[in-house]
């Protein structure tokens, strides 16, 4: 049970896909008698089992993992909802433990918990559907050009390979008549717990080899069959993601199987690169380690806390 009056600590462990977050966090959870909160925006969804590389019960090793299989792809779930849900859960966990571990590669969801989400205006669902339809017909480039005209400030910052963010920004601009960037806050909300931020990284060659191996493992586990089952729901936001889009293109006859596998691996490597870029935007925000540096990571956490 947590000690009365002690400061509570949220240890945030981030890094690209396949870097080794799960093994490290299970190790830390055992050491500090902690539970784990997933900040992987794809692992929330029950139906997406193989393509999201969810930790298996064996990999979880009996450690409670929150926000894995917590939602259905039929539900609309975003970073704002996740922020509210995690902030409601944390006090309950902190009653029993002094440290909680949050881990994942979804930067926006991590930021939502650590800093708070921006207050965005209400938008018209019909407008979002129209913009999504435009994207499906014409691709992302026309929407990027529209965003550049509507909000050059945010255009300079946005991940230009992420259709959901581009569509959302254009949607807010058109609905409100104001730039999307004008609704984004500078600074962050105070949290009633101490946040310790750890980043995991590997040599690029090593990381890319691990990603390729993970994709091969997913395919062997039945990713094609899973994607085929999810195919009727492919328009859901949750499925507009690496690992499924490539298989859907194959099922649509847009490429052969060999090309689908090549794109799956290439796009997964590119996704990892974008994740690292996101987390390294502010170099002083995270302290970086190789996942194998267990003793160094433990020493760093102990240094940041009153725990040993």
Kindly state the tokens that stand for 209. Answer: 């080899």
Contact predicate 147/116, CB 8 Å: no
Strand order from edge to edge, sheet including 9-14: 65-66, 36-38, 99-104, 9-14, 194-200, 287-289
Residue of 11, 18, 100, 80 lying closest to 52 (CA atoms): 18
Within 8 A by CB and 6+ apart from 102, the residues are 10, 11, 12, 13, 36, 37, 38, 39, 86, 110, 113
**pLDDT tens, N- to C-terminus, the chain (308 residues):** 455 557 899 999 999 999 999 999 999 999 999 999 999 999 999 999 999 999 999 999 999 999 999 999 988 888 889 999 999 999 999 999 999 999 999 988 998 999 887 778 888 778 888 998 898 889 899 999 999 999 999 999 888 888 888 999 999 999 889 899 888 766 568 899 999 999 999 999 999 999 999 999 999 999 999 999 999 998 887 888 899 999 999 999 999 999 999 999 999 999 999 899 889 887 789 999 999 999 999 999 999 987 65
Contact predicate 102/13, CB 8 Å: yes
Contact predicate 14/279, CB 8 Å: yes
Partners of 199 in beta bridges: 14, 288
pTM for the predicted model, two decimal places = 0.82
Contact predicate 36/103, CB 8 Å: yes
Phi, psi dihedral angles at 224 (to 5 degrees): -60, -45
Within 8 A by CB and 6+ apart from 292, the residues are 20
9-117+188-221+271-304: CATH number: 3.40.50.300
Assigned architecture for domain 125-183: Orthogonal Bundle (1.10)
| Domain boundaries along the sequence of the chain | 9-117+188-221+271-304, 125-183
């Amino acid at each position: 049970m947590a000690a009365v009056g002690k400061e509570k600590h949220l240890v945030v462990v981030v890094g690209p896909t396949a870097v080794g977050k799960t093994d490290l966090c299970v190790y830390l959870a055992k050491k500090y008698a902690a539970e784990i909160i997933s900040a992987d925006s794809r692992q929330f969804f029950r139906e997406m089992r193989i393509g999201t590389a969810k930790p298996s019960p064996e990999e979880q090793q009996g450690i409670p993992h929150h926000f894995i299989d917590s939602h259905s792809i039929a539900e609309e779930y975003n970073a704002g909802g996740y922020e509210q849900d995690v902030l409601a859960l944390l006090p309950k966990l902190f009653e029993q433990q002094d440290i909680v571990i949050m881990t994942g590669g979804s930067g926006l969801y991590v930021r939502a918990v650590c800093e708070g989400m921006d207050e965005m205006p209400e938008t018209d669902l019909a407008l979002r559907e129209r913009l999504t339809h435009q994207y499906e017909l014409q691709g992302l480039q026309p929407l990027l050009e529209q965003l550049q005209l509507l909000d050059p400030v945010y255009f300079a910052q946005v991940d230009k390979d992420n259709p959901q963010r581009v569509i959302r920004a254009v949607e807010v601009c058109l609905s409100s008549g104001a730039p999307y960037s004008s609704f984004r806050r500078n600074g962050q909300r105070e949290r009633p717990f101490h946040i310790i931020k750890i980043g995991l990284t590997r040599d690029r060659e090593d990381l890319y080899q691990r990603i390729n191996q993970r994709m091969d493992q997913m395919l062997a586990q039945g990713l094609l069959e899973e994607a085929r089952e999810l195919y009727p729901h492919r328009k859901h936001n949750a499925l507009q993601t690496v690992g499924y889009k490539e298989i859907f293109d194959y099922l649509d006859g847009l490429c052969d199987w060999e090309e689908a596998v090549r794109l799956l691996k290439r796009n997964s490597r590119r996704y990892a690169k974008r994740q690292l870029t996101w987390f390294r935007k502010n170099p002083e925000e995270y302290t970086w380690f190789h996942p194998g540096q267990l003793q160094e990571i433990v020493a760093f956490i102990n240094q940041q806390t009153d725990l040993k």
